[in-house]
């Protein structure tokens, strides 16, 4: 492909109507607030802030430093409270009516003045609720420690679970969100192609993983949620993070992208590669084919109206030898990150499962990890799909490995 045509393809990935994206998401959020009779929402989680007003600022840092939040009334102007001298970052964003300096009262920022600053913070939030709530003092809050909750209650604010509101709003994707997901999985596919091409015996797991990060950053992506890449014997059981271990010829290399790409949308796709020019062993092909079979079988079950527990009951059955090493979920939602719902295996339902129904407009990831208990290697595969009126439409584009499927080309 010529450089000019490649650039055109990449630009085409990103033709997103940002005002339409923002309007859809804010309307979804406000519908959920209204349905629960909440005056508004106070959001700290950077992913929730991004959903509500499409404004970002040091997202990973703000995950553990409570220095940025947004007040979203069910009706009325949205107010963003941003970090020191950062109001210019939201210039031109039509959904943000006002930017104010945030009041930080966690210990790093406030030291021994935490209680005092939490009181000042709560008074400002309570004033906004009074102005725009029409007497309603019920506020959804996503993340807040005990001092903040106490300070809000002292101001007469009733506090409710804001994460439920956001997860329910985020579960259905609008047209521009779907375009964002497509852009992110396209970047992920390019990164996976670069990883596949670069994989040679003697490189470290970290070196291979770095390629995903580099391509994502170069293409306007934002961060990688995990470090899940493991080669050879480190691929079973799953959840080893990548390290300085050397990948050898004949190793199976499994990884999960967990990539927050362009526009903050997630490409959560897993693949397994064989390192080197040799042929895969019978056992490697067997594990890979089982994982591919599980993914395909469960994808074909997905459709609007299917219950979460019903999926768990009808899902592909793991071989008994692989059950102990099963993945945490069969299917999970995806959008700005891994999202609601999380559908667990049937044997885990009594401990962790919940009810619900798949709907058209949900984006989900279909998961597989196949590793024998006590076995040498494991295979991690995952496809990202959109649920439509006709079933599951594949969003992830990077192909499975024909040689590992036994279809030599």
Parallel/antiparallel/unpaired status of strands 331-334 and 363-371: antiparallel
Residues 205 and 149 both lie in one domain: no
- Of 118, 151, 169, which residue is a domain's last? 169
- Provide the CATH number for the domain around residue 374: 3.90.230.10
Assess whether 295 and 368 both reside in one domain. Answer: yes
Burial (CB count <10 Å: 0-12, 13-18, 19+), residue 208: buried
Whether 3 is covered by a domain: the verdict is no
Residue 10 inside a domain? The answer is no
| Selection from 114, 405, 56, 98 nearest residue 265 by Cα | 56
CATH code (residue 108):
3.40.350.10
Find, among 125, 80, 73, the residue nearest to 98 by Cα: 80
Last residue of a domain, one of 110, 142, 169: 169
Say if residue 156 is in the same domain as residue 240. no
373 with 294, same domain: the answer is yes
Regarding whether 196 and 334 lie in a shared domain, the answer is yes
Q: Output DSSP code: residue 204.
A: B
- φ and ψ at residue 154, rounded to 5 degrees: -65, -25
Q: 217 and 180 share a domain?
A: yes
CA distance 336 to 346: 27
Residue 284 lies in a domain: yes
Of 60, 57, 302, 147, which Cα lies nearest the Cα of 69? 57
Q: Which of 65, 127, 75, 133 is closest to 102 using CA atoms?
A: 65
240 falls within a domain: yes
**Do 252 and 353 fall into the same domain?**
yes
Q: Do the domain assignments include residue 8? A: no
Contact in structure between 403 and 276 (CB atoms under 8 Å): no
Using the 3D structure, point to which of 169, 193, 212 is the last residue of a domain: 169
Q: Do 213 and 361 have their domain in common?
A: yes
Rounded (10°) CA dihedral 291, 294, 297, 299: -80
The domain of 313 spans 175-405
The answer to whether residue 126 is domain-embedded is yes
In a domain, 116, yes or no: yes
Same domain assignment for residues 239 and 353: yes
How long is the chain? 409
Q: Are residues 22 and 99 in the same domain?
A: yes
Q: Is residue 233 part of a domain?
A: yes
Q: Which residues, at least 6 apart from 364, have a Cβ–Cβ distance to it below 8 Å? A: 302, 331, 332, 333, 334, 341, 358, 384, 385, 387, 392
For residues 211 and 252, membership in a common domain is answered with yes
Determine the Cα–Cα distance for residues 40 and 321; give it in Å rounded to an integer: 50
> Structurally, how many domains does the chain consist of?
2
Structure tokens at 158: 């009733």
pLDDT in tens, the chain (409 residues): 333 333 334 434 458 999 999 999 999 999 999 999 999 999 999 999 999 999 999 999 999 999 999 999 999 999 999 999 999 999 999 999 999 999 999 999 999 999 999 999 999 999 999 999 999 999 999 999 999 999 999 999 999 999 999 999 999 999 999 999 999 999 999 999 999 999 999 999 999 999 999 999 999 999 999 999 999 999 999 999 999 999 999 999 999 999 999 999 999 999 999 999 999 999 999 999 999 999 999 999 999 999 999 999 999 999 999 999 999 999 999 999 999 999 999 999 999 999 999 999 999 999 999 999 999 999 999 999 999 999 999 999 999 999 999 854 3
DSSP code at position 236: S
Same domain, residue pair 159 and 179 = no
The DSSP symbol for 246 reads: B
Q: Which whole-number Å values give the CA distances from 393 to 299, 384, 388, in the listed order?
A: 9, 9, 7
Q: How many CB atoms lie within 10 A of CB 240?
A: 19
């Amino acid at each position: 492909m010529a450089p000019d045509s490649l650039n055109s393809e990449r630009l085409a990935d990103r033709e997103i109507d940002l005002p339409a994206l923002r309007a859809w998401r804010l309307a979804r959020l406000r519908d959920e607030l209204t349905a629960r009779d909440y005056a508004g929402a106070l959001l700290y989680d950077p992913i929730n802030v991004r959903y509500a007003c499409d404004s970002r600022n040091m997202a990973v840092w703000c995950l553990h430093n409570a220095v940025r939040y947004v007040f979203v009334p069910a009706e009325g102007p949205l107010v963003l409270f941003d970090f020191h001298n950062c109001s210019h970052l939201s210039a031109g964003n039509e959904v943000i009516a006002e930017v104010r300096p945030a009041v930080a009262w966690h210990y790093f920022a406030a030291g021994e003045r935490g209680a005092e600053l939490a009181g000042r913070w709560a008074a400002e939030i309570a004033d906004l609720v009074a102005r725009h709530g029409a007497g309603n003092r019920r506020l959804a809050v996503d993340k807040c420690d005990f001092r903040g909750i106490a300070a809000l209650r002292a101001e007469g604010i009733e506090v409710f679970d804001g994460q439920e509101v956001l997860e329910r709003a985020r579960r259905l994707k609008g047209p521009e969100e779907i375009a964002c997901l497509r852009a992110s999985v396209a970047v992920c596919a390019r990164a996976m192609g670069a990883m596949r091409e670069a994989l040679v015996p003697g490189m470290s797991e970290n070196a291979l993983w770095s390629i995903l990060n580099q391509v994502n950053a170069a293409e306007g992506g934002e961060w990688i949620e995990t470090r899940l890449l493991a080669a050879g014997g480190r691929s079973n059981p799953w959840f080893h993070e990548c390290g300085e271990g050397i990948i050898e010829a004949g190793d199976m290399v499994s990884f999960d992208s967990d990539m927050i790409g362009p526009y903050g949308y997630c490409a959560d796709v897993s693949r397994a590669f064989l390192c080197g020019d040799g042929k895969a062993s019978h056992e490697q092909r067997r594990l890979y084919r089982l994982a591919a079979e599980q993914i395909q079988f469960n994808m074909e079950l997905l459709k609007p109206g299917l219950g979460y527990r019903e999926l768990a009951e009808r899902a592909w059955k793991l071989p008994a030898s692989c059950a102990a090493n099963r993945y945490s979920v069969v299917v999970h939602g995806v959008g700005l990150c891994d999202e609601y719902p999380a559908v667990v295996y049937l044997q885990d339902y009594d401990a962790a499962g919940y009810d619900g129904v798949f709907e058209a407009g949900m984006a989900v990831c279909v998961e597989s990890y196949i590793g024998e208990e006590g076995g040498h290697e494991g295979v991690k595969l995952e496809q990202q799909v959109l649920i439509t009126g006709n079933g599951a439409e594949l969003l992830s584009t990077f192909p499975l490995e024909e040689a590992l499927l036994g279809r030599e080309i």
